[in-house]
Chain A
Amino acid sequence: MITADLTQESPLKQIRQLKRSDRMVSEFPKIRHLLHQLTTQEDRARAGQMLKTIDRDKIIAQYPEVKTLKIALTGNFVSQSIAPFLVYFHLRDNILIDTYFSDYGQYTYELINPSSELYNYQSDLTICLLEEHIIFDELPTPWRIKDVQQVLDAKIEHLENLATRHNLSSRGLLICNTIPLSANRINQLIDYKSKASLSSIWKEFNARLLKLSTQIKSLIVLDIEPLLANATGLSDDRLSQYTKMYLTESLLCEYAAEISKISRAVQGQSKKCLVLDLDNTLWKGILGDDGLEGIEVADSSIGEAFNSFQRTIKQLADQGILLAINSKNDLENVQNVLQNHPKMELREEDFVKICANWSPKSENMQYIAKSLNLNLDSFVFVDDSPFERELVRSQLPKVTVLDVEEDPSTFITSLLSGGWFNILEITQEDYSRTVKYANEVQRQDFLSQFNSLENYLQQLQLKVRLFEPQPEDIARISQLTLRTNQFNMTTKRYQEAEIEGLLNDPLVKIVGIQAKDRFGDNGIVGCIFAHQLPNNKQELYIDNFILSCRVFSRGIETISLEHLLQTAKQAGITKVYAKYSRTAKNLKVREFYKKHGFSIVEETGTNLLYLKTLDDTELSVNSAKHIELQANYGGFNYE
């Protein structure tokens, strides 16, 4: 029975058969593939329910690319129905979740008490689901607008307190939502002026709630309205009344999808580069056949649709998403359009790499990834041709291939609804990323003029600054820990509030690394985390060392480490320990410390502990002669 051809069955049935035949672990990649094919809410709920019991330990052991995440849920109503959706959306994105649910009605107690079960659980994300009973349960019957105002005022203060307490008590993020106001409440008022007044004070409350997220570092407030627009309704009268499940399963499904986007960002899985086909993807027509004059990018209803799509892409690019072209076309024709077509929104300088040729698109993708020094799982690929999509998907399963429909008016939704590029907070570095990568391509061209790497580096006029991060640098330092996967010794992710905490700890030292050269300023490209023990001034622990993939192999990593060791030695430190934790992506830096004179003193599972003794022998200092170094990060003499 099981040996029957599975491919004829619906994706959900195939998953069920894999479960019944105990092949969930061995066929996990296939299950993920099938999950992507489920489109209805009911199928997603059923799949989530099925996969709740998947063998976590076996999955983690067998698939290193799978990440784990702890999610705590609380709120003012019965919300456990969100669980299967959370399982579904996270597993689809290679994230295995563990969940904790607060008891009904316990959210205040759980968030205010630092030793509550919720805090003991130590979640990465805490979700506090809120809906209107939080306000209306406190009102008298009958109520007037002024009563609502009073409760809203008290409640915003209460929520601010809870979020502040969470910020102090948890290392994770707190996620809550603006509170939707139901038609049944508005309709209890019969005159239109009063209806407007109620809506207005309600929206003011929600606006204040949203603003709290700029004030409290670890707080994310989701606007419920876009989620509600995609759901089939706010609440089901019967389930609300009889079971206190105040929001529909459909809305909880949308909510869970949004949470999984946040989880991806927390896990460093935000996509970094958007790779685009051209013909019938960025414009209407085939450039090779129709010519520059024949393609449509404006001035017709179809053309306008492509124009809107291009403007949306430009909006993403402005926020640091890299753009590349992967198209079957002649390069000169493509350059001609990018430079000379009067109606194109996207221009040559918006792209960091243009692959217009006749090679298979999967090969082009690999080439783009290599030249940008990014992993394939950082890429999103958009192509109108189902053939090309399937080719890239089957050859390079790590690339996110979007299933766009034929009609270009739907491209924008297909591109945006997955939230593939979402990050927690944008930094100055993001706004100028395209320029920096374009500089990088110039550097590579410059490199090709030299016969040796040494020769090249000498001409690069590289300047490195080691510094103590200031408050304005916190977002970028946190982002480096979240985004960097290759040169990241332990892949420990830090939210901004945690970085802030570390900077205030006298025993901890964070050294920021900034680099610039003749082609431009790279900004903050790396950082080193180190700490000392309160009662032992002779030992230093390097907890992590991170360097952006843009700037590998230029000696920046060596000069930074050497300077740190030198400074440590001057402070009387005799032993420097350094940690390395293996992940699927950081294998190439496994030997980094060894190459710099460290030796392994402890090996447990995927963790290595290195040691370098700073004895009387001379440390090598500034072996990277091509770098002009400036250092100002204080010493290690903590008091």
Chain B
Amino acid sequence: MNSITDLIDLMQEVLELPITEQDINIHFDCLDGWDSLHILRLITSIEAETGQKIAVASILQARNIQEIYQLVS
């Protein structure tokens, strides 16, 4: 995960949501089509993609895409 664009690309592919760079600071509660299951799918996919374990408890606390990026970069 070299840039936030990589994360956005991955989210688009894995979650099939129309996310763009403009959405990175939007709270998940306000993100169109977002639900709590997306985060589960995303965790598994990031780990499959990067081959590294991520801090699940912290990811679950993240409020937006920017915060997730900080945890996985």
Contact = CB atoms under 8 A, between A and B. Distances in A.
A195 interface: no
Given A81-B37, A239-B40, A245-B40, A46 B14 contact: yes
Contact of B56 (A19, A53, A83, A238): A238
A212 to B, nearest CB: 31
Most chain A CB within a 10 A radius of its CB, from B14, B40, B41, B48:
B41
B30 interface: no
Given A239-B56, A243-B60, A249 B13 contact: no
B40 A81 contact: yes
Q: Majority SS of interface residues in chain B? A: helix
B20 to A, nearest CB: 15
Interface of B: 13-16, 37, 40-41, 43-45, 48, 56-57, 60
A239 B41 CA distance: 11
A242 B55 CA distance: 11
A67 B2 CA distance: 44
Interface residues of A, number: 20
A253 to B, nearest CB: 11
Interface in A508-564: none
A554 to B, nearest CB: 54
A239 B16 contact: no
A80 B41 CA distance: 10
Q: Majority SS of interface residues in chain A? A: helix
Given A242-B60, A243-B60, A46 B13 contact: yes
A407 interface: no
A414 interface: no
Interface in A4-23: 16, 19
16 contacts: A16-B13, A42-B45, A42-B48, A45-B44, A45-B45, A49-B14, A49-B15, A49-B16, A49-B41, A52-B16, A53-B16, A241-B57, A242-B60, A243-B40, A243-B56, A243-B60
Contacts of A45: 41, 44-45
Closest 7 CB pairs of A and B: A238-B56, A42-B48, A80-B37, A242-B57, A50-B16, A49-B16, A242-B56
A320 interface: no
Interface of A: 16, 19, 42, 45-46, 49-50, 52-53, 80-81, 83-84, 238-239, 241-243, 245, 249
Contacts of B48: 42
Contact of B44 (A19, A42, A83, A242): A42
Nearest to A245: B40
A81 B56 contact: no
B41 A84 contact: yes
A83 B40 CA distance: 12
Contacts of B14: 46, 49
Given A42-B48, A81-B37, A239 B43 contact: yes
Contacts of B37: 80-81, 83
Given A42-B44, A46-B45, A242-B56, 6 more contacts: A45-B44, A45-B45, A46-B14, A50-B16, A239-B43, A241-B57
Nearest to B36: A243
Contacts of B56: 238-239, 242-243
Contacts of A242: 56-57, 60
Most chain A CB within a 10 A radius of its CB, from B14, B15, B44:
B44
A1 B40 CA distance: 32
B40 to A, nearest CB: 6
Nearest to A249: B44
Contacts of A16: 13
Nearest to B45: A42
Contacts of B57: 238, 241-242
B56 to A, nearest CB: 4
Contacts of B45: 42, 45-46
Contacts of B13: 16, 46
Contacts of A81: 37, 40-41
Nearest to B58: A242
